[in-house]
């Protein structure tokens, strides 16, 4: 029985939570009758609960003084602790508070690359400025274009990550994802490039040029080089940059060419003297997706942020036809 078990050795699974509710009522009402009325028990039932609590806690808790019941020293000590503990339980069991964008003051940590920054942030920030003026987005650079930052999502450093992660990152079962759009690479070169003048470029001409490429990892061949090598082809890369953003001025001011995501190239073509052409080598399309940890799926604030990203993605013009 519980009354034989020292409190510090107590197994919580053997304790009826309702007993704590009775304890709270008894300590606050200082009357078995009023406590019973408050909790919805009969007076003898509450008296019985008090008896069990006395045995459990090894203290009378309430002592009769004439017509009144007075708290013992232990009862006085337990009152705020019991109230606080039950408040915690009530918070635990209460439905999560709704997320109100208009009044929310919250910061979202997003892992992303500069492709995602350029394509997602402007429209998303426009939405946030109108609907959630006190919400802050904090972007963190990710280490890979194609592998979601699982550890950062798992350990809560990122609320969300954006990248070419595809629909269902198979090795990352704890992650959930939603594809925002499909993306393909195009060939970009300076508008004044001396050798690339027509509306299209042949594979031979493309491979004969010197290239600039974005490379996130350190060392080893890039994805394009690996694919070309698999077909017995090569290209000469003169420059690897660490960001997509820096490759466009390089292309505009040199005779280098590059294979870059079409959506990003179209944005930069508005302000850089560069020209887009269809990529003359077969290269896979990528699914640009947002990824989050399944543990955070019930986070209403995060769900709101995802809905805003999805809304902007759906309303963005589709510049890339569906893959064949």
CB of 29 to DNA, least distance (A): 8
Binding string, residues 204-233; x marks residues near DNA by CB under 7 A: ------------------------------
Among 27, 41, 120, 290, binds DNA (CB under 7 A): 41
Residues 6+ apart with CB under 8 A from 210: 236, 237, 238, 255, 256, 257
Which residue lies nearer to DNA by CB, 40 or 156?
40
Q: Which stretch binds DNA (CB under 7 A): 41-49, 113-121, 257-265, 285-293?
A: 41-49
Which residue lies nearer to DNA by CB, 35 or 161?
35
Among 56, 69, 112, 162, binds DNA (CB under 7 A): 69
Q: Does 50 bind DNA (CB under 7 A)?
A: yes
CB of 79 to DNA, least distance (A): 16
> What is the per-residue DSSP string for 154-197?
HTTS-SEEEES--S--TT-TTEEEEEEEEE-EEEEEETT-SS--
Among 28, 48, 223, 269, binds DNA (CB under 7 A): 48
Find the helix packing angle between 17-29 and 73-93, rounded to 10°.
130
Q: Does 64 bind DNA (CB under 7 A)?
A: yes
Q: Does 156 bind DNA (CB under 7 A)?
A: no
Sign of CA dihedral 305, 311, 317, 318: positive
CB of 20 to DNA, least distance (A): 12
Q: Does 67 bind DNA (CB under 7 A)?
A: yes
CB of 56 to DNA, least distance (A): 10
Q: Which stretch binds DNA (CB under 7 A): 27-35, 84-92, 125-133, 292-300?
A: 27-35
Q: Does 43 bind DNA (CB under 7 A)?
A: yes
CB of 17 to DNA, least distance (A): 10
- Tokens 């650079």 label which residue? 141
CB of 92 to DNA, least distance (A): 21
First to last CA, the chain: 71
Which residue lies nearer to DNA by CB, 32 or 162?
32
Q: Does 127 bind DNA (CB under 7 A)?
A: no
Which residue lies nearer to DNA by CB, 13 or 323?
13
Among 47, 72, 144, 246, binds DNA (CB under 7 A): 47
* Three-state DSSP state, 230: helix
Strands (E), the chain: 62-65, 68-71, 107-112, 136-141, 160-163, 175-183, 185-190, 210-214, 236-241, 257-261, 274-278, 286-293
Q: Does 1 bind DNA (CB under 7 A)?
A: yes
Half-sphere exposure of 186 (CA within 13 A, CB side): 23
Q: Does 44 bind DNA (CB under 7 A)?
A: yes
Check: CB of residue 184 under 8 Å from CB of residue 267: no
Report how far Cα 72 is from the mean position of its chain's Cα atoms. Answer: 50
Which residue lies nearer to DNA by CB, 69 or 302?
69
CA 194 – CA 210 distance, rounded (Å): 13
Number of residues that bind DNA (CB under 7 A): 22
Buried b (16+ CB within 10 A) or exposed e, 285-296: bbbbbbbbbeeb
Q: Does 13 bind DNA (CB under 7 A)?
A: no
CA 110 – CA 18 distance, rounded (Å): 43
Q: Does 66 bind DNA (CB under 7 A)?
A: yes
Contacting positions for DNA (CB under 7 A)? 1, 16, 18, 31-33, 41-45, 47-52, 64-67, 69
């Amino acid at each position: 029985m519980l009354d034989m078990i020292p409190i510090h050795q107590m197994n919580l699974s053997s304790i009826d939570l309702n007993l704590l509710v009775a304890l709270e009522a008894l300590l606050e009402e200082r009357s078995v009758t009023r406590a019973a009325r408050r909790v919805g028990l009969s007076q003898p039932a509450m008296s019985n609960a008090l008896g069990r609590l006395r045995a459990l806690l090894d203290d009378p808790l309430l002592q009769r003084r004439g017509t009144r019941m007075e708290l013992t020293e232990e009862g006085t000590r337990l009152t705020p602790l019991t109230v606080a503990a039950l408040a915690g339980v009530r918070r635990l069991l209460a439905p999560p508070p709704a997320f109100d964008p208009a009044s929310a003051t919250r910061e979202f940590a997003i892992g992303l690359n500069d492709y995602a920054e350029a394509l997602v942030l402007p429209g998303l920030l426009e939405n946030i400025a109108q609907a959630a003026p006190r919400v802050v987005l904090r972007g963190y650079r990710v280490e890979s274009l194609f592998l979601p930052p699982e550890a950062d999502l798992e350990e809560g450093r990122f609320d969300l990550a954006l990248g070419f992660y595809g629909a269902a990152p198979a090795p990352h079962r704890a992650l959930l994802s939603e594809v925002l759009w499909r993306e393909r690479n195009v060939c970009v070169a300076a508008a004044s490039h001396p050798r690339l003048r027509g509306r299209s470029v042949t594979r031979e001409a493309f491979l004969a040029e010197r290239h600039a490429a974005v490379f996130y990892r350190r060392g080893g061949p890039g994805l394009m080089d690996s694919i070309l090598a698999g077909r017995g082809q090569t290209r000469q890369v003169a420059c690897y940059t660490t960001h997509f953003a820096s490759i466009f001025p390089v292309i505009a001011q040199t005779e280098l060419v590059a294979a870059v995501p079409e959506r990003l190239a179209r944005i930069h073509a508005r302000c850089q003297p560069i020209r887009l052409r269809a990529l003359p080598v077969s290269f896979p399309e990528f699914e640009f997706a947002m990824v989050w940890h399944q543990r955070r799926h019930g986070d209403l604030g995060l769900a709101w942020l995802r809905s805003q990203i999805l809304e902007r993605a759906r309303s963005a013009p589709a510049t890339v036809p569906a893959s064949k």
